[in-house]
Amino acid sequence: MHKSFITTAFGLLLLFARNGAADQLSVPVQIDYSLIKKVLVSQLYTGKNTTAELWNDQQGCSYLRLSNPEINGKNSQIQLLNQVQARFGTGLGGQCLTVLEWAGILETFQQPTLDSAHSVLSFPITRVTAYDRDGHHLTINKLQELIKRVAEPKLASVKIDLNQSRGNIEQTLAHFLPKDNAAEVKEILKSLKFNSITAGDNGIGIKLDFNAPAKRVVAEPAAAFSESEQQQWQSAWQQWDVFLSSAIEQASRDTQSPELRETLMGILMDSRTAFQAGLQNHDADSADPVRVFFADTWERLAPALKTIAKELPGIQGLRYLTFIAATDVIYELEKLGAPFGLDISSDGLRRLGRILIAGKQEQQLP
């Protein structure tokens, strides 16, 4: 995923921070089978028309090829269906003499598995069945032996490194959270562990476990902005608003998605209204405008990100899923009662606003 998009999304979702060591929480992560298929194709089906030539005799007379993989969930495992073509031949006078030729369907059941470090996802095979085009089981021993010796290890060799995007998350969090929290962010990221993997109907479900700060931060209510603070806020926020608008434009160009641009621009417009309301006094018995904004924002943004993840080639979609999981982690942390300096509320916005104003004033000092 392009850096500008990550910056934009986190900029809209991670605006609130202060200080807060460790309960364990978890959030669900789903990797759709469409994404796993793209990973499979990028690693194995690199031939013309999405084919994987698993074996050949270097003369073109004998080969074993798989093509057009289809992935589904069945009986808590991954069902992978491939069209398979096999031929045994021998060279004779510069020509290939075909001894045996066969075409059909190769069905494998594979159990998604995490390695001992809980970081790499693999797909060991639990069952293999080959059928001809009429649905009859393969009975040719030579072909069965070739499939077992060549096809099974190749299909089982596909892996997904689930830690590939961790560095991007750490950099993004460090960018938006105060520097005095950067070390704590890093410690939380170190504790991330993927666990409890299951194969469902539409994708693989994984739990992302992490250590949450045990210390609760009970913050005093923050007073509404004065007229002078409102004016200073408008100046400080204007720079942020310009930055987000520019990043949204870049994100829409990067993804070629007008729907994404429309969603992000809508969120930005709503943020202006919600944040302005949050800085002012509002009825204590009514819903907090900032909290309502963030809850609504994530409901709108998460589906858009999942759609984009399915459209991107190869492993790139995992970066969006990682971002979704990271944001879910933020929400879980915030539910604990504003630990770790996270406070998605009008009070949190007011504290942040005063920090931004103070920072801007320091920059203007000679």
Query: pLDDT category, 12, cuts 50, 70, 90?
Result: very low
Q: Phi-psi category of 326—alpha, beta or left, where left has phi over 0 and alpha has psi -120 to 50?
A: alpha
Instruction: Read off the amino acid at residue 15.
Output: L
129 sits in which H/E element: strand 125-132
**What is the Cα gyration radius of the chain?**
27
Please tell me the least confidently modeled range out of 202-206, 267-271, 361-365: 361-365
Tokens at 115, concatenated: 């390695």
The span from the CA of 90 to the CA of 212, in Å, is: 64
Query: pLDDT category, 2, cuts 50, 70, 90?
Result: very low
User: Residue 337 pLDDT > 70, yes or no?
Assistant: no
pLDDT on residue 307: 73
Place of tokens 């596909």: 158
The span from the CA of 116 to the CA of 112, in Å, is: 13
The mean per-residue pLDDT over the stretch 286-292 comes to 73
The span from the CA of 45 to the CA of 9, in Å, is: 33
Model confidence over 216-251: pLDDT tens digits?
555 567 777 888 887 777 776 676 667 667 766 665
Query: pLDDT category, 18, cuts 50, 70, 90?
Result: very low
Spatial CB neighbours of 51, under 8 Å, sequence gap ≥ 6:
45, 65, 66, 67
How many CB atoms are located within 10 Å of the residue 26 CB?
A: 18
Model confidence over 186-210: pLDDT tens digits?
677 777 788 889 999 999 998 888 7
Tokens at 294, concatenated: 């963030």
The span from the CA of 284 to the CA of 33, in Å, is: 46
CB distance 272 to 241 below 8 Å: yes
The span from the CA of 52 to the CA of 14, in Å, is: 43
What rounded mean pLDDT belongs to the chain?
76
Please tell me the least confidently modeled range out of 16-25, 114-123, 303-312, 318-327: 16-25
CB distance 154 to 113 below 8 Å: no
The mean per-residue pLDDT over the stretch 273-285 comes to 72
Query: Structural domain boundaries of the chain?
Result: 3-35+162-364, 45-157
Q: Which of 122, 115, 120, 127 is nearest to 152 (CA)?
A: 127
User: Residue 66 pLDDT > 90, yes or no?
Assistant: yes
The span from the CA of 259 to the CA of 305, in Å, is: 11
Tokens at 207, concatenated: 């739990």
**Straight-line distance from the first to the last Cα atom of the chain, in angstroms, rounded to the nearest whole number:** 40
Helix axes 3-13, 289-311, angle to 10 degrees: 160
Instruction: Read off the amino acid at residue 293.
Output: F
pLDDT on residue 8: 47
pLDDT on residue 217: 53
pTM higher than 0.75, yes or no?
Answer: no
Strand pairing class (120-122; 159-161): antiparallel
Please tell me the least confidently modeled range out of 15-19, 192-196, 281-285: 15-19
Largest CA distance in the chain: 94
The mean per-residue pLDDT over the stretch 305-332 comes to 70
Is residue 363 classed exposed, middle or buried when 0-12, 13-18 and 19+ CB atoms within 10 A define those classes? exposed
Place of tokens 């969120």: 267
CB distance 206 to 217 below 8 Å: no
| 201-234 as b/e: b if 16+ CB within 10 A | eebbbbebbbbbbeeebeeeebeebeeebeebbe
Model confidence over 129-183: pLDDT tens digits?
999 989 899 989 999 999 999 999 999 999 988 776 666 666 555 555 545 556 6
pLDDT on residue 165: 61
Residue 9 is classified by DSSP as H
Tokens at 187, concatenated: 């410690």
pLDDT on residue 17: 41
